[in-house]
Structure 1
């Protein structure tokens, strides 16, 4: 089997690179002098694997931003939420999200077409692989499982963006009827779950993979997708009889149409299945990683700095090594250390989500204070391992000064840069090339999903819900949650834990939408805060002064993406409400 993370033969790499930029239709066309047909592609395991690799490239994606015709995304969607602000105004998140300008001509979705290309390729695999003219049942079984899982993964992405979308159960031939109407949310959810069931039964377990096969789908990845789908289906934005905007007879295109408490039980059970299967197959939380110089526990940093670790279940691994002048690194590296995109800045709104190390809320004076460094050092260790702030290095060099009294220190809009997920090995000065491996599924998510779903199912949070959250907090030295919390109190704690733990992993934009809290001041609308920092002479301390750097706009229609003008002009879709 070939490895899809580019740690493979030169031959496979060269053919993969030549195929990944093509849609399925393009791939099956006949270039001058090359006779490429479906029969060619499905003639041998090697040829099939080339096609499967291209399908991974199209259809297995994190929120890492890239820049080419078939793989575009914004600079980590956190910059559309209270996680971050991007210093350059031209990035795609600014107009549709932060300025409330989402419309059919600016949908906020740069991957719509790519999803459908991946789905068509997956359908081709599912339909053709059983009848391929070679005898390798195990290979065929695995490839078919990959087809089901990639199809389900792309339908999940479409579901959480749009609600109900057209279901393509089989590939449509070139020139065939593509004007397929939207299916309901309920139908799309069931379609994803059915595909997950097939994938789980066909794919190998994580401990059955060789080292060279890391990056390929497993039964556990399919179980993760099932659990995430059920969590979304149980969440307020779908699990309701009353939508965010009345869509009349078309409500079932944006919601499930009723509230069913049992959906939370199904979500909890699926998350628990992930945790149990992970334990059986050697997937576990990263723990007890120490900094050699300081002895500091850096387990949380290790998760994103060393993405091939025991906690990652699935990562986006089909790109190869890139330097600091290329996406996804260039936009996230601060300009003061050579980044061309200006860098991502953690908002002060998000800084205020971090508790102190003793588990209590940090006290911040919105009129300013003279103890910024002391307050930083009191925070949950994950803050230090996520952000770079005044006096701290970017990677291993360049202790950054955010002191605004110094000439030139006006680039960090909010007062602290978002370091995660730029690996420490990435260095502008040394022009180091590092392979992006954006996380899609890692184990910590499912501890938190399990806790959230249990809390919503029961009137009071059960002990298992506390234990799941404490497992995540404990590995960074944070104290256990206080017991006897009410359901609403636990809900806020687990949502905050999810924000901190999964920061910059592509969850925040969709978590806030599935909870329907985007309109809360300081989440995706209203005042977004940064801090101005001034060093105090003769002291290691700094004065901080909170200020509003931006007032963002979010309207109810933005709980779903709009379909583009180009798609609507084809006359087969019903547009989402408000657009």
Structure 2
């Protein structure tokens, strides 16, 4: 009987024998694309290192080659410089490193220090270092992943496999990996060369042209659709040794996000409706396919973010599509506990605190928006929806349940600490009150999402960062379908499915396309808060200049048995100009490509 060999379940002995040689060959060979070398490094192998021919002559080693591609996936989550979150680089949070430590990445981002030779989001590249525990080297790592995928797909055809289904699965899996790396690359740096096969040893990299964002998305779409059509690629992982592998569900998620971005204003200046229709079609296909294959929204929004996915044919968590396996000893939950902490309950720093702007985005429990905008540029005078029931003196009452699952606010009940009930004391002078030290909030809020209040030890949490989940796909589809066809029943159904999960009322039935667009953007903001969407959403919508100039907070003062509050500006930023819509290509990489132009505004 043929035995299926999982590339995530190769014997320990075989790994010891092959891993070092395989890593040697991969590290050397991928330098071709990264540094533009014209000489094939495989020509200099008289010292016993494996050649690619040897690697792909053996199914175990060919499968192990796939494993190494996953090393190019960044850890995301709380893994930006000094274990912060991407949210702190957007308007959904204020990072409390600012202004206490002006050398940390958020402070340098707020100060407008992004340059082609210095990127606060990519300290590794800026300092020429490598750290698998933090995010960085985006340009090189994504290109390395693409390079490895191209080598694999070119050579795997001749590799003998005892089980043809295993081989078919790996081919489909690598196509999804290549699509993933391309998407992460182009949404950060814009259009790149579309490369779907290895370069010859004498290829002249200096003549390689850039291609458009849309051309990159075409490759992503093709790879994902071929993977979706491959029955050997499973819809979900069901066994622990395979945790972290890509699936057909991931292919749907990558395709959905890529087509949505391609249709958005940043990359679709002419508002080509065909692009919105393609994104809507992909979104509908993803939802239909995943719902038919046992994917569903997790019933409890709050607790969903506390743990990792359970692996089985019929898991309790049927929403998660892909979560990040840590590259480090500490789990995501450990870093959330320590680096985005409430000072009276332990931790190293306050980290990323939800902004007042995010708080204002949550509807009232009756389904009506509470805050419609601001009268002033400093966001200190909100436009209150007078019919919503919002009360400035008691602003946290009767809000969307997702607010309570995401934000710790003044006097919020935390739970029991050392056997005693505890309420957050973020008022002036309180145990958690505003202060100009990194361990305290600067804006009166703390992050609740991802952390179970019952967790009182950093080492007991199990949460992992969820890169893709079904909730996003509902919102991707709703946005694309509304832009393509207007606020149809399908658009309402997709949005209301997400709202129903938290017992929020359905949206009003008479919304115009423009009104629905605003509600969809608000829904994305609250449903996906702190999940690395807002940073990219405001860019693809081209609204960065109106969202990222500053963030505000609420300063509470204890007056007898109650509190009075006032809105305060907590951080002004210089990283909101149009050149920040697309990040600059690192100067050292651009110097190797004389035909390329730097991204707009970074010359």
The interval holding the TM-score normalised by the smaller chain is 0.7 to 0.9
**Other-structure match for 2:377:** none
TM-score normalised by L of structure 2: 0.80
Per-residue Cα deviation, 1:282-316 (whole angstroms, up to 9, x for no partner) = 011111xxxxxxxxxxx111221124121011122
* Distance of 1:63 and 1:223 partners within structure 2: 20
**Other-structure match for 2:191:** 164
Counterpart mapping for 1:118-517 below 5 A: 118-172=145-199, 177-179=204-206, 180-202=208-230, 204=232, 206=234, 209-212=237-240, 213-240=242-269, 258-287=270-299, 299-308=300-309, 309-319=317-327, 322=330, 330-362=338-370, 366=380, 374-392=394-412, 397=417, 399-406=423-430, 409=433, 410=435, 411-422=440-451, 427=456, 430-432=457-459, 434=461, 437-458=464-485, 460-517=486-543
* Distance of 1:16 and 1:445 partners within structure 2: 39
Per-residue Cα deviation, 1:334-353 (whole angstroms, up to 9, x for no partner) = 44433224321001111000
TM-score normalised by L of structure 1: 0.83
Once the two structures are TM-superposed, the CA of residue 192 in structure 1 deviates from its matched residue by 1.4
**Other-structure match for 2:133:** none
Once the two structures are TM-superposed, the CA of residue 488 in structure 1 deviates from its matched residue by 0.9
* Distance of 1:518 and 1:547 partners within structure 2: 21
Q: Is the 8 A contact 2:21 2:50 kept in 1?
A: no
* Distance of 1:192 and 1:118 partners within structure 2: 14
Per-residue Cα deviation, 1:482-503 (whole angstroms, up to 9, x for no partner) = 1111111111001000110011
1:300/1:272 CA distance change after superposition, 3 Å: same
* Distance of 2:262 and 2:334 partners within structure 1: 36
Counterpart mapping for 1:75-94 below 5 A: 75-89=84-98, 90-94=103-107
Q: Is the 8 A contact 2:425 2:431 kept in 1?
A: no
Once the two structures are TM-superposed, the CA of residue 532 in structure 1 deviates from its matched residue by 0.9
**SS of residue matched to 2:198:** coil
Identify the range of structure 1 (478-487 vs 391-400) with the bigger mean alpha-carbon deviation: 391-400
* Distance of 1:340 and 1:333 partners within structure 2: 7
Paired residue total: 536
Q: Is the 8 A contact 2:326 2:332 kept in 1?
A: no
* Distance of 1:326 and 1:31 partners within structure 2: 43
Per-residue Cα deviation, 1:23-54 (whole angstroms, up to 9, x for no partner) = 93248999999744434543544333333222
Identify the range of structure 1 (353-362 vs 131-140) with the bigger mean alpha-carbon deviation: 131-140
| Structure 1 residue runs without a partner (length 5+) | 241-257, 288-298
1:2/1:94 CA distance change after superposition, 3 Å: farther
* Distance of 1:395 and 1:8 partners within structure 2: 45
* Distance of 2:271 and 2:91 partners within structure 1: 29
Once the two structures are TM-superposed, the CA of residue 226 in structure 1 deviates from its matched residue by 1.2
**SS of residue matched to 1:285:** coil
Q: Is the 8 A contact 1:354 1:379 kept in 2?
A: yes
**SS of residue matched to 2:511:** coil
| Structure 2 residue runs without a partner (length 5+) | 31-40, 123-135, 310-316, 375-379, 385-389
* Distance of 2:552 and 2:281 partners within structure 1: 39
1:19/1:326 CA distance change after superposition, 3 Å: farther
1:117/1:207 CA distance change after superposition, 3 Å: closer
**SS of residue matched to 2:553:** strand
* CA RMSD of superposed structures (Å): 3.5
Once the two structures are TM-superposed, the CA of residue 82 in structure 1 deviates from its matched residue by 1.3
Q: Does 1:532 align with 2:533?
A: no
Q: Is the 8 A contact 1:159 1:165 kept in 2?
A: yes
**Other-structure match for 2:128:** none
**Other-structure match for 2:592:** 570
* Distance of 1:22 and 1:311 partners within structure 2: 38
**Other-structure match for 1:53:** 67
Q: Is the 8 A contact 1:452 1:494 kept in 2?
A: yes
**SS of residue matched to 1:519:** helix
Per-residue Cα deviation, 1:2-38 (whole angstroms, up to 9, x for no partner) = 889x999866998999799989324899999974443
* Distance of 1:173 and 1:84 partners within structure 2: 47
Q: Is the 8 A contact 1:324 1:433 kept in 2?
A: no
Once the two structures are TM-superposed, the CA of residue 423 in structure 1 deviates from its matched residue by 5.4
1:204/1:303 CA distance change after superposition, 3 Å: farther
* Distance of 2:14 and 2:78 partners within structure 1: 24
Once the two structures are TM-superposed, the CA of residue 196 in structure 1 deviates from its matched residue by 1.5
**SS of residue matched to 1:377:** coil
Q: Is the 8 A contact 1:402 1:415 kept in 2?
A: yes
Q: Is the 8 A contact 1:425 1:432 kept in 2?
A: no
* Distance of 1:336 and 1:174 partners within structure 2: 60
* Distance of 1:55 and 1:390 partners within structure 2: 45
1:204/1:64 CA distance change after superposition, 3 Å: farther
* Distance of 1:426 and 1:23 partners within structure 2: 44
Once the two structures are TM-superposed, the CA of residue 65 in structure 1 deviates from its matched residue by 3.9
**Other-structure match for 1:25:** 27
